[in-house]
Amino acid sequence: MVKKYKPGIVVIGGGQAGIHAIEEIRKSDGKIRIYLIDHDKHLFYFRAALKYFVKKQIELPNLNARMDNFIKKSNVTFFQDEVKNIDRDHQFVYTENSLEIPYTKLLIATGGIPFIPPSLRKDVDGIFPMHSLEDTLNICEKADSGIYKKIVILGAGVLGTELAESLIERGVSVSILTRGYVLVPKMLDTKSSAIVVKKYQKLGMDIQFNESISEIHTDESGQLTAITNSKNEKIECDCLCVCTGIRRNIQLAQECNLETDNGIKVNQFLQTSDPNIFAAGDVVEYYIPELKTHKLIDLWGPAGKMGKIAGNNMTRDHITYNLGTFHAYTIFAGLNCHVIGEFNPKNPSEYEILETEYLVRDQVCLFRLILQDNLIKGVFSLGEARHPMILEKIITLKKQIPSNITKSMLLERGFDFERILYYQEH
């Protein structure tokens, strides 16, 4: 007989968005019934910190530090299970293990799923994406035991590039193959990519641009032994890690006829086309009223912020979600890289671009400001961080550059950007 549950708030997905939503719901209501359903073998871990685990900079327990107490403290009924179906008419979710949970409000926070090009969807040992803690544990265990001596990474986005660097630090030989001509095209351009490439090559990373995989080689047991690239060169390897992006995990939403495009469409309150169903995190395409368009984003910070706002809006007043000023940050082989605001404008001729290239302890650094109408609109910095948080605030608050500050001063290494942030007209 199927067990009967009382209606409550149901959260599908215990990642960054889902957990933040629950925390927010609990802030206002200690009693409301909450069900959390997630099918990952490991519950809520810092996905964005997996690279530090590969680099051996953090230990496994620190990856899911919050979770052990979270379920108890938040008084959440948790099921390790996969939601298979949402019945909007009767407000129920149905799971793989035959649970039937009625919801008053539902949050879909199912994140993304790694995209694997069809030509690589083969039953071969040693080909997998890098997405979960399980993938990470698998790759580290085999690297440490010497099963994976050489790894090929397909895709030079931020994920592939950071993984390549981390694996090299773990002592594995790595080749990275990309169709494009730059590393991390969402952050770097030709010039900055060349600086990062040089740094990585010094570490021993083999980087192949304008490349793809034309053939997969296996032994009799089905274990990967090599790949052939498009120049017909054979690269012996034990593992091919596919880092070619994610697709939004929208199947559940599509099947129950919620409005979707590449993600689940939500309004400013993170409400889907069904007012009782909210969505947050990587899975959504959120609405930007000023641009009258929907946008996808897959970053750790925004997923948490969306989760909080969805949690609030499911139980309390209606707060609007606003991404704020875009700001992404990473470190490429010791080189800090910040991209803020309109750091790479589509129509550069409409902006004034100031740039300085300089050496710090023999390392080439780049600093670029994108200006328009006496405002700083975007920032790119590589090599050293130059007041990124202050610059983010200046962009957000649309602070005019005072007339006593020249453009060359803005590029000086020691320039104090607080002079713009706190400038008062007399």
List the one residue from 23, 82, 342, 384 that touches ligand FAD (CB under 6 A).
Answer: 82
Listing DSSP states for 58-112 in one string gives: S-HHHHTTTHHHHHHHTT-EEEE--EEEEETTTTEEEETT--EEEEEEEEE---E
Query: If we measure between CA atoms, which residue out of 129, 77, 122, 128 comes closest to residue 103?
Result: 77
Least Å from the CB of residue 304 to ligand FAD: 8
Binding part of the chain for ligand FAD, among 23-31, 62-70, 281-289, 403-411 by CB under 6 A, reads: 281-289
Residue placing its CB nearer to ligand FAD in the complex, 130 or 235: 130
Question: Rounded CA gap, 239 and 237, in Å?
Answer: 6
Least Å from the CB of residue 81 to ligand FAD: 7
**What Cα–Cα distance (Å) separates residue 360 from each residue in 98, 365, 377, 412?**
61, 7, 26, 13
- 399 is an interface residue for ligand FAD by CB under 6 A: no
- 37 is an interface residue for ligand FAD by CB under 6 A: yes
Question: Rounded CA gap, 250 and 267, in Å?
Answer: 16
- 196 is an interface residue for ligand FAD by CB under 6 A: no
Question: Rounded CA gap, 181 and 193, in Å?
Answer: 9
Binding part of the chain for ligand FAD, among 106-114, 215-223, 265-273, 354-362 by CB under 6 A, reads: 106-114
List the one residue from 33, 39, 105, 170 that touches ligand FAD (CB under 6 A).
Answer: 39
List the one residue from 9, 10, 36, 130 that touches ligand FAD (CB under 6 A).
Answer: 130
Binding part of the chain for ligand FAD, among 34-42, 165-173, 310-318, 377-385 by CB under 6 A, reads: 34-42
Which positions ≥6 away from 22 have C-beta within 8 Å? 11, 34, 36, 70, 74, 76, 311
- 161 is an interface residue for ligand FAD by CB under 6 A: no
Query: If we measure between CA atoms, which residue out of 196, 186, 232 comes closest to residue 328?
Result: 186
Least Å from the CB of residue 114 to ligand FAD: 7
- What single letter denotes the amino acid at residue 414? G
- 13 is an interface residue for ligand FAD by CB under 6 A: yes
Site string for ligand FAD, 288-327 (x = CB under 6 A): ----------xxxx-x------------------------
| Site size with ligand FAD, rule: CB under 6 A | 33
Beta bridge partners of 176: 153, 207
Structure tokens at 82: 């996969």
Residue 105's CB is within 10 A of a number of other CB atoms, namely 22
Q: Let me know how many helices (H) and strands (E) the chain has, helices first.
A: 12, 25
Least Å from the CB of residue 124 to ligand FAD: 21
Residue placing its CB nearer to ligand FAD in the complex, 134 or 355: 134
Residue placing its CB nearer to ligand FAD in the complex, 146 or 334: 334
Question: Rounded CA gap, 56 and 67, in Å?
Answer: 21
Q: Give the residues lining the site for ligand FAD (CB under 6 A).
A: 12-18, 37-40, 47-48, 50, 82-83, 109-112, 130-131, 159, 249, 252, 281-283, 298-301, 303
